[in-house]
Structure 1
């Protein structure tokens, strides 16, 4: 009998020990260490101290990740979120769709995970999660964050109209929301008006065609501007205009850029060019097109520059050395407002690590580095 009890105690101890070891292993597996690449000489006096790069990660694979390019040390830090926030066992989440810095906080919109991750902009330490169903993009004004959200389930054609959610950046609480069009995308603020592009992307035979205009003083929808089908990007220049892109229908209606005068809320001109993404710096809009065709089953790629003051497409391009031939799918773009260097990402095949390229103002590649899967969205950190 004593022998049985002794054996039982021994078995329980071994079971406890095994569980402890397995538990420790699980914890070890949860903390994925960041990878560091010594990329450049340290530049501690540079105005652009660094930037965050959000990698979307493929849908349903929970592979969204966060990189940081630190110019003060010259080190590229890959996949930093897990090491900084080891308690978050699911990592950053599923499909990170946008990022922005406002004040001391970094905001990452995680689309399929239905949340906005709020972190300390200096350390990357998680502060709080804000729950929003199917969020897409974020912008800021006067202590408020504004988030566009599809609502409804992903890909469902009869999904409800989307909304813009107003969040207080101090309390990090949702204050209000207002209905806009179907599947709202990017937003831009000019004065006290917020412009949001509605895509209607869940119903390809019945795309939305409108830019919704919200008065931020009253947080009311004041009008919808008819533009074109399947709208996506919205960027504001310093002259009171916004540049809105239409993705077309991937068949016989091609991508275009429309210019809206925010004083009159009327379309003043348009450009018959493909623009999947753009960034406006001073008087120049840098854009690339990766227009998909259902006819050919291929992307048509292009790169260009547009003078927003003169509203004229320029002859030169921001890549001049042939590097564009190496880029499979341009997916993100940013500009250093001081040096005028252009940063472009390559999404590759969407399921493997991408590449980040840096180009001089003359269009020559200065350096490149491997990123996470589908590198897409930048948040610049200036002094």
Structure 2
């Protein structure tokens, strides 16, 4: 991711009222190794759809202190409804809030707001050569100049675009079509040339593509939710050099489909019953499953909702949404899959980002 996932939207509609969580300040101390270059870690908590309770948790590696909502602390205002994505580019941090139609551009170190950009149901954000690219549910990708913070172009793509990934000079956009119900979801990736900023083709993948990741070998990994139990969920690997389908590895996906690439591996959750989850590890060099479960010490992640990592330390972070209505957590693992520490987060921790000193 995830992202506020489409399945989460339907779960929210069917669930009881989500309660605003009570944040706890107790947190296991982080190890010393991240502090050499990293200042801390941000966690964007989506909150419950329609409840305007998105928050931005910050954990400081040096002081080992936790701020339950750094955005509110810095701005005396709330993020709004469904914080969907988060990214740092240069000295600025961008917070994408879906239902509130907002992109908050802030100081990356303090989360103090610099500018608010209004977009129609923004979803995900990526960066390339002084531009931010943001998908919106109106079927477009908006191009924002990161110097002037203005929208310079709007690129039409497919229905209900979700996540994006960059490889081989191209931007790949997952066109989910997940809001077309009762019509079936769509099954394409839009390919945008980053030189011309135009869509040059669409690639057919498995139905309802949501989450994307790019490896260092110019491959794009696509996780698709399928067609609400009619068509199964699955993974598609696209060769970004040829834009051809490389493979469709067998995977058992659940409702949550975050994906993250680091080094020679891609990490994503799998389940056969939507109750018990594992974190699968796929080797991007050999194109084989490296491990059915990254976690080696028996640590249980109830509801894996986000996956991220630190390339400097090899750590992997997993956001646990637990029951979707109370405080979640982010658990840090070393590169061997052993738990290091846990950070108390807010409702549905959907995005994890490190900030440097």
TM-score interval, normalised by the smaller of the two chains: 0.7 to 0.9
Which of structures 1 and 2 has the larger relative contact order (alpha carbons within 8 angstroms, sep 6+)?
A: 2
Name the residue aligned to 1:308.
Answer: 284
- The answer on 1:334 being equivalent to 2:308 is yes
Q: What's the CA shift string for 1:70-89, capped at 9, x where partnerless?
A: 11222232212112111x3x
Name the residue aligned to 2:28.
Answer: 39
Contact 2:89/2:127 (8 A) holds in 1: yes
Helix, strand or coil at the partner of 1:376: strand
1:38 to partner: Cα distance: 5.7
1:359 to partner: Cα distance: 1.7
- The answer on 1:368 being equivalent to 2:342 is yes
- The answer on 1:283 being equivalent to 2:272 is no
Contact 2:27/2:343 (8 A) holds in 1: no
Find the aligned partners of 1:262 and 1:336 in 2 and give their Cα distance: 24
Find the aligned partners of 2:29 and 2:108 in 1 and give their Cα distance: 22
Q: What's the CA shift string for 1:92-132, capped at 9, x where partnerless?
A: 11000000000100001000000101100011111110000
Name the residue aligned to 1:21.
Answer: none
Find the aligned partners of 1:300 and 1:248 in 2 and give their Cα distance: 20
Point out the structure with the larger helix share: 1
Find the aligned partners of 1:374 and 1:249 in 2 and give their Cα distance: 24
- The answer on 1:346 being equivalent to 2:335 is no
Q: What's the CA shift string for 1:142-190, capped at 9, x where partnerless?
A: 1110000002xxxxxxxxxx10000111111111101111000100112
Name the residue aligned to 1:218.
Answer: 196
Find the aligned partners of 1:363 and 1:322 in 2 and give their Cα distance: 9
More deviation, 265-274/282-291: 282-291
Contact 2:101/2:122 (8 A) holds in 1: yes
- The answer on 1:195 being equivalent to 2:172 is yes
Contact 1:144/1:168 (8 A) holds in 2: yes
- Which structure 1 segments of 5+ residues have no match? 1-32, 152-161
Name the residue aligned to 1:167.
Answer: 144
So what's the TM-score if we normalise by structure 1?
0.82
Find the aligned partners of 2:350 and 2:207 in 1 and give their Cα distance: 23
Name the residue aligned to 2:111.
Answer: 124
- The answer on 1:96 being equivalent to 2:83 is yes
So what's the TM-score if we normalise by structure 2?
0.87
Q: How does 1:55-70 map to 2 (within 5 A)?
A: 55-70=45-60
Name the residue aligned to 1:240.
Answer: 218
Name the residue aligned to 1:320.
Answer: 296
Contact 2:184/2:227 (8 A) holds in 1: no
Tell me which of 114, 136, 152 is aligned to 2:101: 114
1:382 to partner: Cα distance: 3.3
- Which structure 2 segments of 5+ residues have no match? 1-21
Name the residue aligned to 2:7.
Answer: none
- The answer on 1:228 being equivalent to 2:206 is yes
Question: What's the C-alpha RMSD, in Å, of the aligned pairs?
Answer: 2.0
Contact 2:279/2:292 (8 A) holds in 1: no
1:372 to partner: Cα distance: 0.7
Tell me which of 69, 73, 83 is aligned to 2:63: 73
Find the aligned partners of 1:130 and 1:141 in 2 and give their Cα distance: 19
Q: What's the CA shift string for 1:35-64, capped at 9, x where partnerless?
A: 744632673843333221100000110000
Whichever of the two has the greater Rg, that structure is: 1
Q: What's the CA shift string for 1:348-368, capped at 9, x where partnerless?
A: 221211122122222222222
1:289 to partner: Cα distance: 2.9
Find the aligned partners of 2:271 and 2:120 in 1 and give their Cα distance: 28
Find the aligned partners of 2:290 and 2:241 in 1 and give their Cα distance: 26
Name the residue aligned to 1:185.
Answer: 162
